[in-house]
Structure 1
């Protein structure tokens, strides 16, 4: 049996359950999915952490992990279906949230949506869009249902000098 013994701080233990999935990454960068087998009943009094035991697949499916290696990981706390759209695509009017879909004829159609989690500048849309029609990304607050729009592509972002690779030259 190959397992990952994760040290988890006490405040995060309440969100971890047996049977949950975990993604374990070795120092070499390979990742493998495991399953939480058990959680230690007590915390280490000095470190204030508890051990969480994660079963990993054996054989060739273990991503190159070996007993005694250091590894880090993430626990999969939850998943939800939905579409991620930029926050700028969502318009709040009269206590409801809307996005504007663009029809093939270039008319915008106001769609009432139900929102979920937020992640940075993105918001999850749980209901109201199906992913088939393109959505207005910017300027949606200035539109009304039925307005005619022209779809344009966002300009490509040029690499800045700071992100360009540096070259070194040596002088004799």
Structure 2
């Protein structure tokens, strides 16, 4: 048999096999815990509280926007013309009552005409008295043959003519007295002076607008709604209007426009607002009309996140990982918002959605922690 030293390749193979065997032995001697150690856990990005959708009965809401206008306007103008404005007694914004004096026209010429016509009436009455006395005397001697039938007829005609002259003079007197009363420009109803075009000293003509009133101080909100929205409305439904300054005013639908505009396809809704409030004619306001309460699936508004023009809710899944779910929002009330397309038993992250991403891991706060945080925020 040949010596091993004479076979170098065989010697190297034996050496390599020994090294591999030693390595396998070392691996076999590693602790089992080190071999089976799990991968490191993903960290939690946020501690959150969880809510589930609630079903509540809310009134259905129709949103709209439109101007504020007077319920009715009252135009105040003189009924007689050719007279000068002698006095202006109210200004813009004045609250007036029915019959209040707003302006006065000069009446010197009419006072002179009045005295002249009163004298004419006096003459007519005297003439009538004389004609009546003549007729009575003529009748007294009618049977004696002292007067002819023609003369008696003349007395009758004279008496009738004098009576007609008196009536004409009295009618003219009434006309002058009426014109005198018309020199007093008064409010025809309660209201607020919204416009004044009268100028002191100006000679006016009959029918010229001097003042404009918001009748009874009543203001209306007049949004324009489409056919689908209008079909669900009726008089008496409640509305809440938000004014430009942020004030909210409650009102009632007075009238739903009977026709739709041929150019816009929309109809005007007339919502009465309370008199004496902050609403002013000419404002443009947004608002909502409430009607027909219906069930609504709701979440806290903090549970809905707006991103890229859409609304999302984050749902808690296995392993405390969250996933985003698009939702359609609707009515809002007292810090809650109506949502669609969520399972009734969905576990929704109550807040902090802006800090979450798809598949992020969260820590769910216990009820005690949630209560402690709520109490702290209340203080």
The TM-score normalised by the length of structure 1 is 0.48
TM-score norm. by structure 2 comes to 0.23
Q: Per residue, is there more helix in 1 or in 2?
A: 2
- Greater relative CO (CA pairs within 8 A, separation 6+): 2
User: Greater Rg, structure 1 or structure 2?
Assistant: 2
More strand by share: 1
